[in-house]
Amino acid sequence: MRPSLYFGSLLMVVLLVNGCASPGGKRTFSDPEAARAHYKQLHSDLYDDRLLTLKEAMKLTPEQEEQFRPIYKKYNQELRALTDSRLANLNKFLTHHKAGTLDELKLNELTAEWLQYLQDRLDLWNKYYRIIGDKVSLWAASEFLRVENHIALFYDLTVASELPSPGESPGKPEGP
């Protein structure tokens, strides 16, 4: 990946996470449907940028790109299904948080679902590392994992920065 693209992306993510990129500062969702729509749009927006970044980082030949494109399409379909499960988990969290019914038992259940999502994402990456390694090249597969991991970290930070903490009261203003 070109250093300028990488550092530009990193700066954008840092600004998003810190709330500097939005006019109203940090965005915190308490409404599950608003959050769901926002995260669906974020995933959709990331798709084109992710594909461009992957192509640039992987330095594929035209033949390799032909082999990679259908693999990536299938990967993204599976990733979207995982993202949908994560959004369902976030929706449950926000619903219980807003209703004031987020107790330790529910928090434990939601955390177990989140950890399963993370395991499922690792399993998906492992699966596609092998597929890309077999069909395209091990170098491309390695770069694919590196870029996907960074994008996932950025996405996770963005999502985490916009959620209320479990102990925060619904409707309670943040900060001084």
Q: Which residues contact 70 (CB under 8 A, 6 or more apart)?
A: none
User: 16 pLDDT band (50/70/90 cuts)?
Assistant: very low
CA dist., res. 95 & res. 75, Å (int): 30
According to the model, what pLDDT value does residue 1 have? 46
According to the model, what pLDDT value does residue 141 have? 95
User: 173 pLDDT band (50/70/90 cuts)?
Assistant: very low
In Å, how far are 28, 76, 114, 116, 161 from 82, measured between CA atoms?
23, 10, 11, 10, 20
The count of other CB atoms within 10 Å of the CB of residue 68 is 24
According to the model, what pLDDT value does residue 68 have? 94
* pLDDT one-digit tens code per residue, 53-105: 887 888 899 999 999 999 999 999 999 899 888 888 888 888 888 888 889 99
* pLDDT one-digit tens code per residue, 145-167: 999 998 889 878 887 777 777 77
Q: Which residues contact 147 (CB under 8 A, 6 or more apart)?
A: 1, 50, 53, 54, 57, 58
Instruction: Please list, residue by residue across 11-33, b when 16 or more beta carbons sit within 10 angstroms of its beta carbon and e when fewer do.
Output: eebeebbeeeeeeeeebebbebe
Q: In this model, does residue 11 exceed pLDDT 60?
A: no
Instruction: Please list, residue by residue across 151-172, b when 16 or more beta carbons sit within 10 angstroms of its beta carbon and e when fewer do.
Output: bbebbeebbeebbbeeeeeeee
Q: In this model, does residue 18 exceed pLDDT 60?
A: no
Please give the model's pTM, rounded to 2 decimal places.
0.72
* pLDDT one-digit tens code per residue, 94-144: 888 888 888 999 999 999 999 999 999 999 999 999 999 999 999 999 999
